[in-house]
Amino acid sequence: MFTQPHRRYNALTGEWILVSPQRTRRPWQGQEENVADIDLPAHDPDCYLCPGNARTGGLRNPDYPTTYIFENDFPALLSDSLCDDLNTNDLLQAKPEKGICRVMCFSPHHDLSLPHMDRQMIGEVIDEWVRQCVELAEVPWINHIQIFENKGIMMGASNHHPHCQIWASATIPTEPSKELTTSIRYFDTKKTCLLCDYLKLELQEGERLVMSNSSFVAMVPFWAAWPFETLLLARRHVASLFELTPAERIDLADIIKRLTTIYDNLFQTSFPYSMGFHQRPTDHKDYPGFHLHAHFYPPLLRSATIRKFMIGYEMLGEAQRDITPEAAARQLRSLPEAHFKTWPDNQKMMHKK
């Protein structure tokens, strides 16, 4: 059906994306990234995130046994921003922005990224996410909490130690704000949740589904822009991580473990991505149409060495992709859920891209 160039509408942001499936046949002569798997030690004496080590800001980490949270030594947002408003003829505008930035180490183990952690350890990460959201939501001027992970050097992670960041801000940032606007408009028009209705469609069609359990579904969204982008949706209509039941938290740990494992399996390397949760704002307003979800944006295209950049037409026109969401979902579904490092050699060769 989708073999010729076409545009797809992103119902979640109100934007369009160009899909060019015929371009997968073109030869590649561009730069190839070095994404070879790295054997990491359980503790790196030079890592500023490992237990007991000094951080770049001069403080020293405790010998933490599980997750560890600290205020970012070089935060992008400050809690006491003193910038003045600027408005010159409505053309030059600037406003101060306050926020709190924290770093969260997933575990004391330098070599354990999410696909290598067991479900209990990932559950501890989720429990800490919830505690952080509850704590930060109580700050009167915090209106949005963004949890995100950049995995891999090519995604901007300057340290191999598995960790994420939590940025809480006074203003709702641009991307979640766009999703919030479309969700409100959809709810006001149809009196139902946009992502609940979208999930029903995806479950009926099944073509873009990747995996699921009792509480969550992972799919390549119809409007995906990144090569193997996935959208992780709660089955139940919940708006925030702290609304999840204990059973749903266990299921969230399960699907994160499975999804990040097949990402590693896709090209048999430690698979880079940027991941983040979008939750209801913490401004004490009612958002009945907002639905908890997470985005995974991986940059690897057709092999473990070819990266997809957002450049050229995508910067000047609109997002564009070559691999259709349906083809990406088929490829992800075809992979075993056991991590590739446990496979026999003949199985590794069979699935090598």
Q: Specify the pLDDT at position 164.
A: 96
pLDDT at residue 33 greater than cutoff 70:
no
Give backbone dihedrals phi and psi of 93, rounded to 5 degrees, phi first: -125, 140
CA pair distance 123, 133, nearest whole angstrom: 15
Distance set, CA 287 to CA 133, 150, 274, 345 (Å): 17, 28, 26, 51
Residue 260: inside a domain: yes
Residue 249: inside a domain: yes
Print the domain residue range for 285: 37-351
pLDDT, one tens digit per residue, over 310-334 is: 667 666 677 787 889 999 999 999 9
pLDDT at residue 133 greater than cutoff 80:
yes
From its phi and psi, is residue 191 left (phi > 0), alpha (psi between -120 and 50) or beta? left
Residue 332: inside a domain: yes
Q: Specify the pLDDT at position 27.
A: 53
Beta pairing class for 99-105 and 68-71: antiparallel
Residue 4: inside a domain: no
Residue 13: inside a domain: no
Q: Specify the pLDDT at position 92.
A: 79
pLDDT, one tens digit per residue, over 72-116 is: 998 888 888 667 777 888 887 888 888 999 999 999 999 999 999
Q: Specify the pLDDT at position 316.
A: 64
Among candidate residues 161, 163, 278, 295, the one labeled active-site is 163
CA pair distance 200, 210, nearest whole angstrom: 15
Give backbone dihedrals phi and psi of 174, rounded to 5 degrees, phi first: -60, -50
Split at pLDDT 50, 70, 90, the class of 23 is: low
Structural contact between residues 124 and 270, judged by C-beta atoms closer than 8 angstroms:
no
163 an active-site residue? yes
pLDDT at residue 7 greater than cutoff 70:
yes
How many domains is the chain built from?
1
CATH code of residue 270? 3.30.428.10
The radius of gyration computed from the CA coordinates of the chain, to the nearest angstrom, equals: 21
Structural contact between residues 218 and 261, judged by C-beta atoms closer than 8 angstroms:
no
Residue 24: inside a domain: no
Structural contact between residues 145 and 84, judged by C-beta atoms closer than 8 angstroms:
no
Residue 12: inside a domain: no
Residue 15: inside a domain: no
pLDDT higher at 331 or 304 = 331
